[in-house]
């Protein structure tokens, strides 16, 4: 799928996502909007996956380490055919398999259970190492939040990824500059990320993570080392009143706000 | 006076673990060992020599070690994740919960030098909380073998079991208790001595002490049943209820805090299904003082004669 078409799919996913969060009355819409372009490019262009055979050993792996943005993953998986699209309406409902954080034993396409931050990257390192051991040629992608990089376990995994020479691993940091309670810079400012990753022996790209023309080549980039994409994004991207507002980490839009969001996203379709 | 008997040979269960994982690895290319700079203490030197590319040393990074284990399993490998039990379970507990138990990752955790094996190194290195921390987690069998035979059997079982589990090993020497060729069954206690006056239940390094205590009690005319209960979760409810109803009292001993471990797990069953007098021996909710493991066990009232005395006191409460 070409970037223009991917942009259209990403807007559709945004629309369904904000609708699901509004209807459920809960969710993490800001960080979903920032990450959706990357997830769209992964599932509709980059990843070698088979929705009708989700456990195929040759599949590329994607780990959503920022598991609180599960709704965006569910919408993307549904649109890609892993789960029924009409199931999105059960998000967060009693007994729904669409938890607030993804469950790999319930939802096809989910690789590991995430939610507590700092878990996905170590698991992704293990996935990439497994491919090195078995000779499998799948690629492993993992997406973390930028605030999530404050978790020390990530840096343990970053060291291991370099030590193991995992050229089959791509880390995407959704650098939207806001964490739950405040701006990253007012909390524990780990930016700039690039020199830190480079110092740990990774190949680093910096891109606009909401610009499909930059997202696709970055995801398709291969190196002789593990690759980190520092994806500069906007929290709430695509919805004017949400953009770069810390409140929208897990705020739920009012009816009036929801109508504005739907109108803006629909206009762009 | 009894004829002199030669003391039974004592074995470090880590050797049985090492031999078994090397044997498994020779027959199954998926078997990998993951460790945290613990090649020596996990007895993985032989594995490393034979399968160097399958020994994955993440360095001193337990959270990453457990996560890497989950990823290796996702990629089709069969990882045994090994490290000192105090760090493996304490440092990486959330990874054990989310990445292994909740995700149902096919990872075998091997906690080495558990209990007070590192007695002299002090409470930071004691692992007398690991039963409590791990046995509350769904989908995580918790197993503490009592000798080299049961260790080898449990490692073989773990390789065949589809899902995560936690094997809690020691380095303290123990004699053979189970017969050669013993096959490990999850959640099934082993009857080592039958008796009717009370039941002694233990696992790991305490089982042989219970057998010795039963011998002391036998000399005093008290018939003690002895159960080896390696599996702390799922606990063998049937054996516990039978012990309670048939012998009327249960004494437990463990190289663990008395809070939350084997004794607590047994008490939960006894209270709900067959209330009888119980006594739990273990570390009584304190940070242990410094000293060798065997000496600490004696200090905390788990020398065979002390166990026998606790048993006699318990019987009086029937």
DSSP states along A222-233: --SS-EEEEEE-
> What local confidence, expressed as pLDDT, does residue B204 receive?
98
Does residue A175 surpass a pLDDT of 80? yes
* Residue pLDDT, tens place only, A2-35: 999 999 999 999 999 999 999 999 999 999 999 9
Query: Phi and psi (nearest 5°) for B191?
Result: -80, 115
Q: What mean pLDDT do residues B84-108 have?
A: 98
Numbered ranges of CATH 3.40.50.920 in chain B: 190-315
Tell me, rounded to whole angstroms, the distance of Cα A50 from its chain centroid.
19
Check CB contact under 8 Å for A122 and B71: yes
A114: closest chain B residue by CA: B98
pLDDT computed for residue A244 by the predictor? 85
Amino acid A249: pLDDT = 86
pLDDT tens for residues A189-201?
Answer: 999 999 999 999 9
Confidence of residue A267 (pLDDT cuts 50, 70, 90): confident
For residue B130, is pLDDT > 70?
yes
Interchain contact, B76 vs A112, CB within 8 Å: no
pLDDT at residue A268 greater than cutoff 90: no
Higher confidence at residue B1 or residue B19? Answer: B19
Helix orientation angle between B237-247 and B262-273, rounded to the nearest 10 degrees: 70
Query: Best interface-test mutation with A: which of B33, B56, B75 has the largest number of A CBs within 10 A?
Result: B75
A202: pLDDT strictly greater than 90:
yes
Task: Round to whole Å and give the CA distance between A13 and A265.
Answer: 10
* Residue length of chain A: 269
- Between chains, do A153 and B63 touch, taking CB under 8 Å as contact? yes
Q: Where are the beta strands (DSSP E) in A50-93?
A: 61-64
Nearest chain B Cα distance for residue A154, angstroms: 8
Mean pLDDT over the full length of chain B = 97
pLDDT exceeds 60 at position B1: no
Query: ipTM score of the complex?
Result: 0.97
pLDDT tens per residue across span B178-220: 999 999 999 999 999 999 999 999 999 999 999 999 999 999 9
Between A105, A129, A140, which is nearest B56 by CB? A129
Measured between alpha carbons, how far is B142 from B229 in angstroms, rounded to an integer? 11
Give the minimum alpha-carbon distance from A125 to chain B in angstroms, rounded to a whole number. Answer: 6
Which token pair is B213? Answer: 């205590």
CB pairs A-B closer than 8 Å: 116
Q: Cβ separation of A121 and B67 shorter than 8 Å?
A: yes
What residue has token string 């799948």?
A: A138
Closest residue in chain A to residue B59, using alpha carbons only: A160
d(CA B207, CA B214): 11
Query: HEC profile for chain B?
Result: CCCCCCCCCCECHHHHHHHHHHHHHHHCCCEEEEECCCCCCCCCHHHHHHCHHHEEECCCCHHHHHHHHHHHHHCCCEEEEEEEHHHHHHHCHHHHHHHHHHCCCCCEEEEECCECCCHHHCCCCCECCHHHHHHCCCCCCEECCCCHHHHHHHHHHHHHCCCCEEEECCCCCECCCCCCCCCCCCCCCEEEECCCCEEEEECHHHHHHHHHHHHHHHHCCCCEEEEECCEEECCCHHHHHHHHHHHCCEEEEEEEECCCCHHHHHHHHHHHHCCCCEEEEEECCCCCCCCCHHHHHHHCCCCHHHHHHHHHHHHCCC
DSSP A85-128: GGGGGGTTSTT-S--SS--TTTSTT--S---STT-HHHHHHHHH
pLDDT of residue A132: 98
According to CATH, where is 3.40.50.970 located in chain B?
Answer: 13-168
Q: What is the pLDDT of residue B5?
A: 61
Q: How far apart are CA A73 and CA A109, in angstroms?
A: 9
Contact B63 A156 (CB under 8 A): yes
What local confidence, expressed as pLDDT, does residue B128 receive?
98
What is B13-168's CATH number? 3.40.50.970
List beta partners, residue B83: B111
User: If pLDDT is split at 50, 70 and 90, which confidence band does A246 have?
Assistant: confident
Alpha-carbon Rg for chain B, nearest whole angstrom, is 19
Judged by a CB distance cut-off of 8 A, whether residue A105 touches chain B is: yes
Q: Give tens-digit pLDDT for B240-290.
A: 999 999 999 999 999 999 999 999 999 999 999 999 999 999 999 999 999
pLDDT average, residue stretch B34-62: 96
Q: Shortest Cα distance from B54 to chain A (angstroms)?
A: 8
* Domains within chain A, CATH numbers bracketed: 3-267 (3.40.50.970)
Candidates B71, B107, B162: best to mutate against A (most CBs of A within 10 A) is B71
Q: What is the pLDDT of residues A84-130, one digit of tens each?
A: 999 999 999 999 999 999 999 999 999 999 999 999 999 999 999 99
Which residue of A lies nearest to B63 if distances are taken between CA atoms?
A153
Question: How many C-alpha atoms does B240 have within 13 Å on its Cβ side?
Answer: 28
The pairs formed by A89-98 with CB atoms below 8 angstroms and a separation of 24 or more are: A89/A20, A89/A23, A91/A20, A91/A21, A91/A23, A91/A24, A91/A27, A92/A24, A92/A25, A92/A26, A92/A27, A93/A24, A98/A70, A98/A71, A98/A74
Residue of A nearest to B58 (CA): A160
pLDDT at B157 over 70: yes
C-alpha distances in Å from residue B298, one per residue of A29, A216, B13, B119? 59, 65, 21, 12
pLDDT at B232 over 80: yes
> What is the rounded distance in angstroms from the CA atom of residue B44 to the CA atom of residue B58?
14
**pLDDT-based confidence at B20, cuts 50/70/90?**
very high
Residues of B contacting chain A (CB within 8 angstroms): 32, 53-54, 56, 58-59, 61, 63-77, 79, 94-95, 98-99, 102-105
Residue B3: pLDDT band (50, 70, 90) is: low
Q: Which chain B residue's Cα is nearest to A136?
A: B75
Cβ distance A126 to B68 less than 8 Å, yes or no, reads yes
Q: Which fold has domain B190-315?
A: Rossmann fold (3.40.50)
A249 interfacial to chain B (CB closer than 8 Å): no
The token pair at B282 is 């273990």
Please choose, from the candidates B56, B88, B89, the residue with its C-alpha nearest in 3D space to the C-alpha of residue B73: B56
**According to the model, what pLDDT value does residue A245 have?**
86
- Residue B4 pLDDT: 56
């Amino acid at each position: 799928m070409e970037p223009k078409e991917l942009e259209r799919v990403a807007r559709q996913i945004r629309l369904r996502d904000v609708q699901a969060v509004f209807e459920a009355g809960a969710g993490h819409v800001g960080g979903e909007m920032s990450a959706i372009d990357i997830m769209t490019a992964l599932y509709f262009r980059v990843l070698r996956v088979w929705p009708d055979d989700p456990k195929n050993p040759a599949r590329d792996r994607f780990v959503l380490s920022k598991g609180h943005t599960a709704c965006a993953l569910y919408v993307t998986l549904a649109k890609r055919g892993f789960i029924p699209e009409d199931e999105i309406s059960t998000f967060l409902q009693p007994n729904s398999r669409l938890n607030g954080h993804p469950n790999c034993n319930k939802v096809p396409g989910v690789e590991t259970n995430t939610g507590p931050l700092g878990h996905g990257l170590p698991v992704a390192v293990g996935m990439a190492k497994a491919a090195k051991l078995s000779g499998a040629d799948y690629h492993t992608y993992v997406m973390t939040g930028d605030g999530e990089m404050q978790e020390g376990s990530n840096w343990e995994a970053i060291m291991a990824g370099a030590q193991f020479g995992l050229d089959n691993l791509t880390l995407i940091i959704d650098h939207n500059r806001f964490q739950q309670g405040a701006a990253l810079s007012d909390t524990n400012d780990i930016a700039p990320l690039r020199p830190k990753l480079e110092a740990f022996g990774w190949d680093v790209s910096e891109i606009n993570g909401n610009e499909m023309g930059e997202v696709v080549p970055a995801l398709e980039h291969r190196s002789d080392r593990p690759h980190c994409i520092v994806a500069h994004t906007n929290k709430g991207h695509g919805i004017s009143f949400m953009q770069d507002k810390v409140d929208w980490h897990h705020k739920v839009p009012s009816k009036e706000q929801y109508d504005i969001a739907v109108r803006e996203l629909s206009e762009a379709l | 006076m009894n004829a002199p008997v030669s003391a039974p040979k004592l074995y470090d269960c880590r050797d049985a673990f090492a031999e078994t994982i090397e044997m498994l690895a020779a027959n199954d290319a998926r078997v990998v060992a993951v460790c945290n700079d613990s090649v020596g203490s996990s007895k993985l030197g032989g594995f490393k020599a034979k399968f160097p590319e399958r020994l994955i040393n993440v360095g001193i990074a337990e959270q990453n070690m457990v996560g890497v284990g989950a990823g290796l399993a996702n990629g089709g490998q069969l990882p045994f994740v090994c490290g000192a039990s105090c760090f493996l379970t304490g440092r990486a507990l959330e990874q054990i919960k989310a990445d292994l138990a909740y995700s149902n990752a096919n990872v075998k955790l091997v906690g080495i030098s558990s209990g007070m094996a590192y007695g002299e190194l002090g409470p930071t290195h004691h692992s007398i909380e690991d039963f409590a921390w791990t046995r509350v987690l769904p989908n995580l069998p918790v197993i503490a073998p009592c000798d080299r035979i049961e260790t080898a059997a449990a490692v073989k079982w773990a390789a065949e079991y589809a899902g995560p589990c936690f094997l809690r090993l020691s380095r303290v020497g123990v004699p053979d208790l189970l017969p050669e060729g013993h096959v490990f069954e999850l959640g099934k206690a082993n009857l080592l001595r039958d008796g009717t006056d009370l039941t002694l239940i233990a696992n790991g390094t305490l089982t042989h002490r219970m057998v010795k205590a039963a011998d002391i009690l036998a000399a005093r005319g008290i018939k003690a049943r002895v159960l080896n209960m390696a599996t702390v979760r799922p606990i063998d409810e049937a054996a516990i209820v039978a012990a309670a109803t048939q012998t009327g009292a249960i004494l437990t001993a463990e190289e663990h805090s008395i809070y939350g471990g084997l004794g607590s797990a047994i008490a939960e069953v006894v209270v709900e299904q067959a209330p009888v007098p119980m006594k739990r021996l273990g570390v009584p909710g304190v940070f242990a003082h410094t000293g060798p493991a065997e000496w600490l066990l004696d200090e905390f009232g788990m020398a065979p004669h002390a166990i026998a005395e606790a048993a006699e006191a318990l019987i009086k409460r029937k």
